[in-house]
């Protein structure tokens, strides 16, 4: 299929939770922006009809973002519905009929991966796959072998260029803002490399638990849930070389190179934790060894980053909810006692607000040459800048694959985490509202972790410092 705009959007799992919370709000936003003006066909086995689907869409919008009367009326006019079992060829014959004169549909599989093979095979048999694209939701496998098997299934019926693997994190503008910050500013090139950076740390903290998703989470854990996908995408944006061109393949080539330069995680460079009370959550095994916290150390064996450790930390029931990157600079050959110096740093906060800040040393008040650390905030803005699903679905409809994981990227990401996930590494308990277990000291940057503060605290602190 060419990069032409898709002429229909089919989404399987139209009656599910993801559609209710994310997809309907994204579709209304796309209509409002003029990005969606083609049939939208929901497919599910629920005994529904089109009127029930429209009612569900309205309910979704009333709870998640609000109903825009004009846009919702337009969306309602675009909606169609097919009810039936995914195993039944008649379901896909009905879909082919609803597609009418659409020749380049986009099939969005908002369904469990175990159903992918059934659905894509039925799409092919019913002639619904010809000229089509397919969008698949994460999790894309649970290890390297299953990811390869899923890729094999999809590639039996679709070309790689027509497969769009969603990681909604790539739809977040703050995540992509890192690329703009790095490559649209000349001064960044001078210091963002192994010559000046001592270490880089990435923290994704959540101050809440599994929120009723215990059964899912206990089969997944922090590394599979956010590290192997979301945070590796952040890492790739931070460490990639500038692409030769801005087309999707050139950008994704550079991201894959980052992962190829990383060796599999060693057991000594990983600490897993579990918050106290997790095993009491509904759906969680009483003897669960699933991690709700992970801290790990990676090294990127590339020209730009060789010798610079990258630390990743993510967890639930931590003191704040925030995603933040801190690059610590090497200390200068100081004219003042080194013991009084704090490393300069670059801080990029991705959520809940977007911040670019620089930590530096200045002369302290009073006599003499005593110094103090301050932070200069260069930019602060709200992270609420359009929904990630709106952005990725819009890109998929346009045929722009830049925001989607390619086959080789997915497999490289699993290669890095797979061996250690198969080991019986210990899981240490930690108190809620703490920064993980005590054992995390084993995987800690020189000078310690930089713990994100709450938004209110960061505003007060940086405001006073500046």
Q: Which residues have a catalytic role annotated?
A: 230
97 Cβ neighbours under 8 A, 6+ residues apart:
none
Per residue in 292-314, is it b (16+ CB within 10 Å) or e — as a string? bbbbbbbebebebbeebbbbbbb
The beta-carbon contacts of 387-390 under 8 Å, at least 24 apart in sequence, are: 387/22, 387/25, 387/26, 387/29, 387/65, 387/171, 388/168, 388/169, 388/170, 388/171, 388/172, 389/22, 389/23, 389/25, 389/26, 389/168, 389/171, 390/25, 390/26, 390/29, 390/30, 390/33, 390/35, 390/171
Measuring CA to CA, which residue among 143, 231, 234, 239 is closest to residue 197? 239
Distance of CA 354 to CAs 192, 227, 419, 459, Å? Answer: 19, 20, 35, 12
Euclidean distance between CA atoms 337 and 362, whole angstroms: 14
Distance of CA 271 to the CA centre of its chain: 21
Q: Given the DSSP bridges, would you call strands 105-109 and 270-275 parallel, antiparallel or unpaired?
A: unpaired
CA dihedral 25, 281, 205, 226 (to 10 degrees): -70
Residue with structure tokens 């945070």? 231
Evaluated on CA atoms 356, 253, 302, 293, the torsion sign reads positive
Q: 423: exposed, middle or buried (C-beta count within 10 Å: 0-12, 13-18, 19+)?
A: exposed
For residue 291, whether the previous peptide bond is cis, meaning omega lies within 30 degrees of 0, is: no
């Amino acid at each position: 299929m060419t990069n032409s705009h898709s002429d229909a959007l089919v989404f399987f799992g139209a009656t599910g939770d993801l559609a209710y919370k994310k997809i309907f709000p994204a579709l209304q936003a796309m209509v409002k922006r003029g990005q969606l003006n083609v049939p939208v066909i929901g497919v599910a086995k629920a005994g529904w009809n089109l009127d029930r689907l429209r009612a569900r869409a309205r309910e979704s919008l009333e709870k998640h973002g609000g109903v825009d009367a004009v846009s919702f009326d337009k969306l309602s006019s675009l909606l169609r519905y097919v009810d039936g079992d995914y195993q039944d060829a008649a379901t896909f014959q009905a879909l082919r009929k609803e597609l009418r004169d659409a020749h380049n549909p986009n099939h969005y599989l908002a369904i469990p991966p175990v159903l992918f093979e059934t659905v894509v095979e039925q799409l092919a048999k019913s002639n619904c796959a010809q000229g089509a694209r397919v969008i698949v939701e994460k999790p894309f496998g649970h290890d390297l072998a299953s990811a390869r098997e899923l890729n094999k299934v999809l590639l039996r019926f679709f070309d790689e260029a027509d497969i769009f693997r969603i990681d909604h994190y790539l739809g977040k503008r703050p995540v992509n803002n890192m690329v703009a910050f790095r490559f649209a500013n000349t001064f960044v090139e001078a210091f963002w490399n192994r010559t000046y950076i001592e270490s880089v740390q990435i923290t994704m903290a959540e101050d809440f638990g599994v929120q009723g998703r215990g059964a899912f989470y206990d089969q997944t854990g922090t590394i599979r849930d956010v590290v192997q996908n979301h945070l590796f995408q952040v890492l790739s944006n931070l460490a990639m070389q500038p692409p030769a061109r801005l087309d999707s393949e050139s950008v994704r080539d550079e991201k894959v190179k980052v992962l190829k330069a990383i060796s599999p995680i060693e057991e000594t460079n990983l600490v897993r934790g579990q918050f106290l009370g997790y095993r009491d959550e509904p759906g969680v095994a009483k003897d669960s060894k699933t991690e709700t916290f992970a801290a790990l150390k990676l090294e990127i064996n590339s020209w730009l980053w060789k010798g610079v450790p990258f630390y990743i930390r993510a967890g639930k029931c931590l003191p704040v909810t925030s995603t933040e990157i801190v690059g610590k600079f090497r200390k200068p050959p100081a004219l003042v006692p080194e013991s009084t110096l704090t490393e300069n740093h670059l801080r990029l906060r991705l959520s809940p607000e977007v911040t670019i800040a620089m930590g530096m040393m200045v002369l302290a008040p009073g006599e003499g040459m005593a110094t103090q650390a301050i932070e200069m905030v260069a930019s602060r803005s709200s992270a609420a800048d359009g929904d990630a699903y709106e952005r990725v679905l819009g890109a998929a409809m346009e045929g722009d694959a830049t925001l989607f994981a390619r086959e080789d990227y997915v497999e490289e990401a699993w290669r890095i985490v797979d061996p250690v996930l198969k080991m019986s590494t210990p899981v240490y308990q930690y108190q809620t509202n703490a920064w993980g277990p005590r054992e995390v000291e084993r995987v800690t940057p020189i000078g310690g972790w930089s713990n994100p503060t709450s938004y209110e605290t960061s505003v007060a602190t940086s405001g006073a410092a500046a």
